[in-house]
A and B are shown apart, each in its own frame.
Chain A
């Protein structure tokens, strides 16, 4: 948005603060099969409401239609993901969530809808690499074949018992959203599962 303020302050800590980077080489040489990065402070808003929230969503995010079941729409840096029949997750630029929440609340006045800031409650990881689907498949029951779980698909599921929201942003790229308190576990599990392919966790 045009009025991006330079005064946005981000909190000093994030979900994975203080954890060292981890690198295990790919045994076959070449790039690591999995690269994990925390999308630090990525803004996250949980939006609930029926179809009448669309005008507000369009005005504040530029999204022209609500995502269909199991899909997300991308508008610039923002993703709006379907979570349930009347529930959506908006991922937005770091530091912008308060402003978007305030505006959405104004737009939703008088309709049965809610916007909740869940930025600190959830941790978003960007995961990518040639083996990313193989690694996820070790702990997730979703059909992760690239033709089934294609770019634009999203799903809430379990990754080794931890609840996750998975957004396929490309054939070998995902955004994985989990609870902040589960983030260290999820990263440790991903690193362990990806040892055979080579893995790089970057801070």
Chain B
């Protein structure tokens, strides 16, 4: 059983939380210009790594707020908990974010605003 440090309520038992799966999947803005295969990357494909995984969690039985968590799927060690809409701050978390196959997908490229050059943290919705 995990002891999860809710950013609002403090340390609580895992049973109070629900896991929302992989984090940092940005929705393509002009999805009608994407191929079905590229859109499927966004819609259906989810990572299932052995090791550090960036996930979304929700304090379902408590404050009902979402947050992001960097968790090791082997040891269950929680490396970092960080707010929705932001990127991990720990070195391991940054590496895991940058190393994800999703960073290279057409779906993620299409999620960037047309102006581009926006800092990476702003294009993510967690």
User: Chain A: residues with CB nearer than 8 A to chain B?
Assistant: 69-70, 83-85, 87, 141-142, 155-158, 163
Contact = CB atoms under 8 A, between A and B. Distances in A.
Contacts of B12: 141-142, 157
B92 interface: no
A22 B95 CA distance: 59
A146 to B, nearest CB: 17
Interface in B1-27: 8-10, 12-13, 15-16
Given A69-B8, A141-B16, A87 B61 contact: no
B62 interface: yes
Given A85-B8, A141-B12, A158-B15, A163 B63 contact: no
Nearest to B9: A70
B63 A83 contact: yes
Contacts of A70: 9-10
A157 B65 contact: no
B17 to A, nearest CB: 11
Given A70-B9, A70-B10, A141 B62 contact: no
B89 interface: no
8 contacts: A84-B62, A85-B63, A85-B65, A141-B15, A141-B16, A156-B9, A156-B61, A158-B61
Contact of A84 (B8, B13, B15): B8
A161 to B, nearest CB: 9
A163 B65 CA distance: 15
A128 to B, nearest CB: 24
Contacts of B9: 69-70, 155-156
Contacts of A155: 9, 62
Contacts of A69: 8-10
B16 A84 contact: no
